[in-house]
Amino acid sequence: MERALRLPIASPASTPVGFLRARSRPTCQFCNRPSSSCKRRAFSSLLGGAAAWPLQARAQQQTMPVIGFLVAGTPLSHGQWVAAFVQRLRELGWIEGRTIAIEYRWGEGRNERFAEIAAEFVRRKVDVIVTSATAAVVAAKQATSVIPIVFAAAGDPVGTGLVASLARPGGNVTGLSIQQTDLAAKRLELLREVVPGLRRLAILANVGGPAVVLDMREVQATARTLGLEVITSEIQRGEDIASAFKALKGRADALYVAIDPLVHTHRIRINTLALATRLPTMHGSREPVEAAGLMSYGPNLPDLWRRAAEFVDKILRGAKPADIPVEQPRKFDFVINLTTANALGLDVPPTLLARADEVIE
């Protein structure tokens, strides 16, 4: 909105003592010209400046680096992680709207959206693409081999072919791993402590995610070594979730939910259906446990997203993605929802509660 222009009105020149003038013409106190002339000049000058403001703003925005933010989920599912990223950027001197421009696009956990958004960012020639989740990174990598890509979280960057190695990523992609397949055994160990009679394990997995498929295979292999029967429930859309739970009813003692943007976007619905079918759940991050899941073990995702901002900072200052090693989590969270445990009639051992980083009551 344009501001109203308020112009200072020059005071009339004072009349020396001893001189009588029937009507004096006010003059400008600075240049001694008639003040009406100066007012016109001032107004014209200010109007010209006001017209130039939008042009200057546009020019400034065009010179700012632009981040194309392909957020794999929705504002509700991923908003707090995005906020952590933007806050860390600010701490590093990249202030949104002043020194950096960020274009947000929400993938809603849908692979077809990832490809559309990645192609749009390539057309717009953004300076860096930031994303998370293997399927979204794959879409971005397929869209460009030139624009740097930073992933805030990817399940198994080497196993899924995102990078050549953690130490030397190569190409235009780098970021942070969540060690998805490495944590499967630990999650099953914790789940067995809470559900001691566990014999039949169900796995809910979005098979459209490359890292999810690897995670699912790792869980299947680990479960079989423990003598567990495994029931796999594969989904690819939010519409598949209800029918998946219907098929699981009465067939499983617990549910392993493979972390993925699709299941994270629908975490409330998944946990509601799990409670209705009396299934204890194990998740890969704390956020689903806040939404009535039973428990989770995995990396602290806000911390990973903050660190992703540091990768972007390095790239904007001249570093090449190929030369920035992929990093791993530094913080892991073990979270238990005691309210959910009570609703399922489960007694959580005090020793396990003592080991938890957070207990939700």
Domain boundaries, given as residue ranges, for the chain: 64-179+301-323, 181-300+332-360
Q: Are 130 and 68 in contact (CB under 8 A)?
A: yes
pLDDT value of position 23: 39
Per the structure block, which two tokens stand in for 345? Answer: 């009639």
Residues 6+ apart with CB under 8 A from 16: none
Whole-structure pTM value: 0.81
Q: Is 182 exposed, middle or buried (0-12, 13-18, 19+ CB in 10 A)?
A: middle
- What would the pLDDT profile of 115-129 be if each residue is shown by its tens digit? 999 999 999 999 999
Task: Calculate the dihedral angle through the C-alpha atoms of 183, 361, 331, 169, rounding to the nearest 10 degrees.
Answer: 50
Average pLDDT value over all residues in the chain: 87
Query: What confidence score (pLDDT) does residue 350 get?
Result: 96
Rounded to whole angstroms, the Cα distance separating 351 from 355 reads 7
| Residues 180, 108: Cα–Cα separation, whole Å | 21
Average pLDDT over residues 72-92: 96
pLDDT per residue over 224-251, tens digit each?
999 999 999 999 999 999 999 999 999 9
Tokens of 161: 């072919």
CA distance readout (Å), 56 to 53, 59, 62, 63: 5, 5, 10, 11
CATH of 181-300+332-360, one of 3.40.50.300, 3.30.460.80, 3.40.50.2300, 3.40.50.1370: 3.40.50.2300
Q: Are 231 and 262 in contact (CB under 8 A)?
A: no
Residue 62 backbone dihedrals phi, psi, to 5 degrees: -70, -30
Query: What CA–CA distance (Å, rounded) separates 21 from 17?
Result: 11
pLDDT band at 196, cuts 50/70/90? confident
The stretches of 18-174 forming alpha helices (DSSP H) are 35-63, 75-91, 111-124, 134-143
Which of helix, strand or coil describes residue 130?
strand
pLDDT of the residue at 62: 59
Which residue, among 126, 104, 163, 89, has the nearest Cα to 314 in the 3D structure?
89
pLDDT above 70 coverage of the chain, percent = 83
d(CA 201, CA 39): 82
Judge: domain 64-179+301-323, CATH 3.30.365.10.
no
Overall average pLDDT of the 348-359 stretch: 96
For the purposes of burial, counting CB atoms within 10 Å of the CB of 323, is it exposed (0-12), middle (13-18) or buried (19 or more)? Answer: exposed
| Longest CA–CA separation in the chain, Å | 115
Burial-class residue 1 by CB neighbours within 10 Å (0-12, 13-18, 19+).
Answer: exposed
- Average pLDDT (286-293) is 96
Q: Would you say the CATH fold of 181-300+332-360 matches that of 64-179+301-323?
A: yes
Task: Provide the b/e sequence for 327-350 (b: ≥16 CB within 10 Å).
Answer: bebeeebbbbbbebbeebebebee
| 59-69: average pLDDT | 79
Contact predicate 286/329, CB 8 Å: no
Contact call for residues 175 and 308 (beta carbons, < 8 A): yes
| CA atoms of 283 and 289, how far apart (whole Å) | 7
pLDDT of residue 214: 94
Do 283 and 298 meet the contact criterion of CB atoms below 8 Å apart?
yes
Average pLDDT in the 213-222 region? Answer: 96
pLDDT tens digits, residue range 106-163? 999 999 999 999 999 999 999 999 999 999 999 999 999 999 999 999 999 999 999 9
Q: Tell me the sheet residues that pair with 103.
A: 68
Q: Helix crossing, 210-225 with 184-194: angle to 10°?
A: 50
CA distance 94 to 311: 13
Phi-psi region of 184 (alpha: psi -120 to 50; beta: other; left: phi over 0): alpha
Q: Which two tokens stand for residue 19?
A: 């001189």
